[in-house]
Amino acid sequence: MQQFNRRRFLQAFGITSLASVTGVSGAIAGGYSNGARIVVVGGGSGGATAAKYLKTFSPGLDVTLIEPNSTYHTCYGSNWVIGGFEDMDNIAQTYDAMRDRHGVKVVADSVTAVDADKRRVHLAGGDEIKYDKLVMSPGIDFRYDAVEGISEDDAEAIPHAWKAGEQTRILRSQLTDMPDGGVFVMVAPPNPFRCPPGPYERISLIAHYFKQEKPKSKIIVLDAKDNFSKQGLFEEGWAEHYGDMIEWRGASDGGRVEEIDVGEKMARTEEGFERVKADVMNFIPHQRAAKIVHDVGLTNDEGWVPVDQRTFKSEMDGNIYVLGDSSVAGAMPKSGHSANNQGKIVAAAIVRELMDQEPFDPSSANTCYSLITPDHGVSVAAVYQYKDGAQAGVDGSGGVSPSGESADFRKREAEYTRGWYKGITYDIWG
């Protein structure tokens, strides 16, 4: 009862505590141990959080994290690199603390198959690992088949930069090579996709770079949607800082792209609208859950993983939990902050199940900060509560930054953006 009241209190102020996210109080966390084997697939925002918090809530668990890359570059902050005011090294995370501080076994490999009957995962390197519970947070993959003329093989010529790392570097170097007066074209994806405000932060920060170094250049966004996250705030910021450098075309206004001529860097839009030629093109493909969850048979017709949104347990298999961008999570957006909250929910749900306790109704939150210049931040925030079978937004919680605010206010939000980055990356990989 005490915890219920505390949770209600925190919700009223749009704040969530670890206990409200997880239903695991200090009294439960700590000494419990039964040696159950938990395998976590993917060391990104969701998987790394789940692995760390499984060990935090129940140090006796045998937790193995499988991730092919020894360094994870966060997508958050990758637009700052593309905008030319952040270094790739500063968005790189490692698994040292996971291994040395939290006692998670980290295996540098990829899962190629899951034998759900025998509860075993198969690795590309040939090994097999047995599990009692499997957690999967493998992120997204792309549906290149939705637009003609372009495939995954073209990602070097026309980068997506929607998984950070090498792709981020490629897009940045194409921009630095582009002459002043060139045209940058972004092809933005339809919903649902990873990080709803992400394309528009990217546009803003490329405009910031052009304004400093290549002021005669132009930016055209061809969007598969008619509106986007924090649109009013972005458009206000674009008018304030970049004049008419950015031209955004919504789906009904010639933004829907049907074909790309990769050699020419030309986008063909719907009949009746003009073709658009780029010097640098950023094609962000339509998206779906990562390949491995399709291969395991966990996805629905739309290409995402339906789960019990109270625990993130797969609807297809009671021993597999799927979280992060791959999952269908009600009102929660596909974001690093959501994946981080879901990682704690999953860790707590597994510990409670192993202790024969009933699942709890988790409450969580999301904030997505975006920079329009390095000193102009805007945000959207919301609080979620599991209700009537889904993660639902709590009435009256959250909202977006006010419009028409002072430069000082925007600067403070830019500082919160960097603070958020430090906090969340420490919470996940620290």
Closer residue to ligand FAD, CB minimum distance, 20 or 326: 326
Closer residue to ligand FAD, CB minimum distance, 58 or 370: 370
Closer residue to ligand FAD, CB minimum distance, 71 or 212: 71
Q: Which residue has the tokens 């206004």?
A: 253
**Which residues lie near ligand FAD (CB under 6 A)?**
41-47, 66-69, 72, 75-76, 78-79, 110-111, 137-139, 162, 194-195, 198, 290, 292, 324-326, 334-337, 339, 368-369
Closer residue to ligand FAD, CB minimum distance, 28 or 40: 40
Supply the minimum distance, in Å, between the C-beta of residue 3 and ligand FAD: 27
Rounded Cα distance, 85 and 296, in Å: 41
Supply the minimum distance, in Å, between the C-beta of residue 184 and ligand FAD: 15
Supply the minimum distance, in Å, between the C-beta of residue 294 and ligand FAD: 11
Rounded Cα distance, 216 and 243, in Å: 12
Rounded Cα distance, 279 and 89, in Å: 28
Supply the minimum distance, in Å, between the C-beta of residue 329 and ligand FAD: 10
Q: In degrees, to the nearest 5, what angle opens at C-alpha 13 toward C-alphas 8 and 16?
A: 65
Q: Which residue number places its CB atom closest to ligand FAD?
A: 44
Closer residue to ligand FAD, CB minimum distance, 76 or 248: 76
Supply the minimum distance, in Å, between the C-beta of residue 327 and ligand FAD: 8
Closer residue to ligand FAD, CB minimum distance, 210 or 429: 429
Helices (H), 93-244: 96-100, 166-177, 198-213, 231-242
Closer residue to ligand FAD, CB minimum distance, 41 or 345: 41
Supply the minimum distance, in Å, between the C-beta of residue 252 and ligand FAD: 25
Instruction: For residue 263, count CB atoms less than 10 angstroms from its CB and return exposed for 0-12, middle for 13-18, buried for 19 or more.
Output: exposed
Supply the minimum distance, in Å, between the C-beta of residue 419 and ligand FAD: 12
Instruction: Report DSSP letters for 169-211, one per residue.
Output: HHHHHHHHHSPTT-EEEEEEPPSS-S-TTHHHHHHHHHHHHHH
Supply the minimum distance, in Å, between the C-beta of residue 61 and ligand FAD: 19
* Closest listed residue to residue 72, CA positions, set 125, 108, 122, 121: 108
Closer residue to ligand FAD, CB minimum distance, 36 or 51: 51
Q: Which whole-number Å values give the CA distances from 143 to 71, 193, 283, 359, 385, in the listed order? A: 25, 11, 12, 35, 31
Instruction: For residue 430, count CB atoms less than 10 angstroms from its CB and return exposed for 0-12, middle for 13-18, buried for 19 or more.
Output: middle
* Closest listed residue to residue 337, CA positions, set 317, 319, 359, 364: 364
